[in-house]
Amino acid sequence: MYFLVGIIAGYLLLVIVLFFGQRNILYHPDSTIPEPHQYGLNKMEALRISTEDGVQLFAWWQAPTQSENPVLIYFHGNAGNLGFRAEKVGAFLDVGMGVLIITWRYNAGSGGKPSEAALNMDARAALKFVRQTGIADKKVVLYGESLGSGLAVELAAENHVGAVVLEAPFTSITDVAQHHYWYVPTNWLVRDRFDSLLRIGEVSAPIMIVHGESDRVVPAKFGRFLFEAAREPKEAHFIANARHEDLYDHGAAHLVFSFLDRHLEQ
């Protein structure tokens, strides 16, 4: 009897710890303030972008080489800093696209605290910045990597944009949490749900999903479910042997450029 009570008490303690510590599990702050030139991106500008609630987001920006070229807004994952995405960013700059890549409010000395609502404000601030440079919405590409895919879907559901690219996306954080923490009732516990499955049907822009078949962080099945729920035009590429963070080592850049060439409005 005491053994059973001990097991139940231990389980309840685990659930309590996971509930109150969930944002520490989901968000991984990085105080680094990297400069673009440190990564060979000498024409990019490091700047701060204000959000609705006054947080100063750290970002890198470079305008397109020609006014008719598209601009990519890059929303990265839950960990790391902008420098970790420099190689990807450089690929888009090399073809003349403009790029704005922001880091979330809990990074780079911004001083903000993370939540789903707060990160959605960050994403809206990025789109507002690009619009203020005079870029037409039809020339805007929203690129969401992992956690950033949830922000890209939400923003695209609320705004007309030219295209949406989702790298290693999920259906919702709740679903991913249930996959990893199958022994707890995550549907009752998760605060920041980022329910992309609920919103993706509202996205009118062309959508591309690229996912690694060997992804253990966000298994490819979630990308498939999301793809099935998306509206046409859409396409998906599930790359054999690719994991969560190495899709560009398996030719993802070529797939993205081909998609944009075919679907971006001229």
Residue environment code for 56-73, b if the CB has 16+ CB neighbours within 10 A, otherwise e: bbbbbbbbbeeeeebbbb
- Counting the structural domains of the chain, the total is 1
Share of the chain above pLDDT 90, in %: 86
Phi, psi of 216 (to 5 degrees): -100, -10
126-131: list long-range contacts, CB under 8 Å, 24+ apart.
Answer: 126/49, 126/57, 126/59, 126/73, 126/75, 126/100, 126/102, 127/73, 127/155, 127/159, 127/161, 129/49, 129/59, 129/61, 129/100, 130/71, 130/73, 130/98, 130/100
Residue 95, domain extent: 2-263
126's tokens: 């990025």
Q: Which residues of the chain carry a pLDDT beneath 50?
A: none
pLDDT in tens, 234-257: 999 999 999 999 999 999 999 999
User: What is the C-alpha to C-alpha distance for residues 228 and 245, in angstroms, rounded to an integer?
Assistant: 23
pLDDT digits (tens, 9 = 90+) for 72-92: 999 999 999 999 999 999 999
Structure tokens that stand for 202 in this block: 């509202």
CATH number, domain with residue 26: 3.40.50.1820
